[in-house]
Structure 1
Amino acid sequence: MKNNKILIIAAHPDDEVLGCFGTVARYIQQGYDVFTLILGEGKTSRESKNHTKEQKILENELLNANNFLGVKNVFRKFFPDNAFDKVPLLEIVKSIEEVKNKIKPAIIFTHYEKDLNIDHQITYKATITATRSLQEESVKEIYSFEILSSTEWNYPLSFQPDVFFDISSTLSLKLKAMSFYQSELQNYPHPRSLEGIKINAQYQGMRVGLEYAEAFKSIKVIK
């Protein structure tokens, strides 16, 4: 029987939408079960006088965005924002293994290893560690995604994708899901704006002869 389970492993709320929601929307339409794991709490590194209130708003946005798309379940950890490097890597690895062993996904989407954000880098490293190719490992495909306003800012490094998913029919779902993140959205020309997301999807699509696409770097593909 075919394993049709997908796990998104992201550092912060909204990374899952920015990274791969156009693609997983297609998978959901095809009958796949999608799960999201968010590792970091997402707010405390920012200047604010009311982190508790802002965190509560962010949690509601996270659930609304994922429920809208049809994600089966959102798993939540609360590692410190922009400080994953202060946490023992093994602790983050075990938190990923706990969820991965529970749902046994065949496909994982996660961060790009050369992202600017330290939490994104460590999420990638922990994911790779947690999915070592042992005989009983369920994960057969791993793809890393870009995060606008993070991946492209790591000069002089650049995102170098080799897999492109056609999201021409699901971009509207990605944009709607992102619209739930009002506390995270910015105004254009900021990359993390609805218009910025659409322009990036258009650019990635144009590179491979599609109207709109999401781009990924393949990490492991076992067929």
Structure 2
Amino acid sequence: MNVLCVVAHPDDEVIGVGGTLASHAKRGDDVHVVILSDGVTSRHDSITEEVQAEIDERRGRAKEACEILGASVSFHTFPDQRFDTVPLIDLTQTVEAEVDAHEPSIVYTHHHGDLNLDHELTSRAVMTAGRPQVGTPIRRVYGFETLSSTEWATPEPSNAFQPTSFKDISESLETKESAMQVYQRELRDPPHPRSEKSIRQNAEVWGAKVGFDAAEPFVLLREVRD
């Protein structure tokens, strides 16, 4: 089985779906991660040599994290925290090209109601690129939560994260944590939701809700059955 994970920034793939991707890889599935932005340039006024070095370093960390998960990874250069300045068709065509290259039957992406606009537009681009046309390989599209983004959105019925599917990651939680440790610069101290402690506790709480030691929750955005 081919699996595609499309995210806005380096570390989103681990926070949101790292345990699930590791589980896919462990059972022999081909797993590929698409990262649309560098996650760095919004913090700076211009791209200096130092900023470029930071971008390269974070991409290096993303490669290391994905290697731990058992996934390959590709990078794109959409403007960090400025996806709303880019025509949606550009995002969509980028995702379409990745779908053509990897022919996934399952796609994971951000929850469409996240506070982070890059996440929201990534989800929309994936849903557009993954529309159920004749010949598409995609059979299921899942939306995942991203701690410190999903739960901080303005509460509205239209953007609530109400998971309908859960993956047991009891055996892959440690792999997820090892991959997350690569992103030390992005981690915060407890009780911040993007801390190692909170990430583990969140997985354990979702697991307890569905009878596992740890789980990752998803919204099934689309399923096409033969």
Shorter-chain TM-score above 0.5: yes
User: Is the contact between residue 26 and residue 70 of structure 2 (CA under 8 Å) also seen in structure 1?
Assistant: no
Equivalent residue runs for 1:1-223 within 5 Å = 4-46=1-43, 50-71=50-71, 73-157=72-156, 158-223=160-225
Q: CA deviation at 1:47?
A: 5.2
Cα distance between partner residues in 2 of 1:137 and 1:28: 22
The one-character-per-residue Cα deviations of 1:7-26 (angstroms, maximum 9, x if unpaired) are 00000000000111101211
User: Is the contact between residue 85 and residue 118 of structure 1 (CA under 8 Å) also seen in structure 2?
Assistant: yes
Cα distance between partner residues in 2 of 1:189 and 1:61: 24
Structure 2 unpaired stretches of 5+: none
Q: CA deviation at 1:118?
A: 0.4
Indicate the larger mover: 46-55 or 34-43: 46-55
Whichever residue aligns with residue 205 of structure 1, its letter is G
Q: CA RMSD in A?
A: 1.3
Whichever residue aligns with residue 161 of structure 2, its letter is F
Structure 1 unpaired stretches of 5+: none
- Alignment size in residue pairs: 219
Cα distance between partner residues in 2 of 1:138 and 1:184: 34
Cα distance between partner residues in 1 of 2:54 and 2:147: 22
Cα distance between partner residues in 2 of 1:56 and 1:76: 11
Whichever residue aligns with residue 82 of structure 1, its letter is Q
Q: CA deviation at 1:119?
A: 0.3
Cα distance between partner residues in 2 of 1:197 and 1:84: 26
Aligned to 1:76, the other structure's residue is in SS state: strand
Cα distance between partner residues in 1 of 2:165 and 2:115: 21
User: Is the contact between residue 148 and residue 192 of structure 1 (CA under 8 Å) also seen in structure 2?
Assistant: yes
TM-score by length of 2: 0.93
Cα distance between partner residues in 1 of 2:41 and 2:58: 12
The one-character-per-residue Cα deviations of 1:69-127 (angstroms, maximum 9, x if unpaired) are 211x2111010111000000001111111111011110000000100000000000000
Structure 1 consecutive aligned stretches of length 4 or more whose deviation exceeds 6 Å: none
Whichever residue aligns with residue 136 of structure 1, its letter is G
Cα distance between partner residues in 2 of 1:129 and 1:97: 9
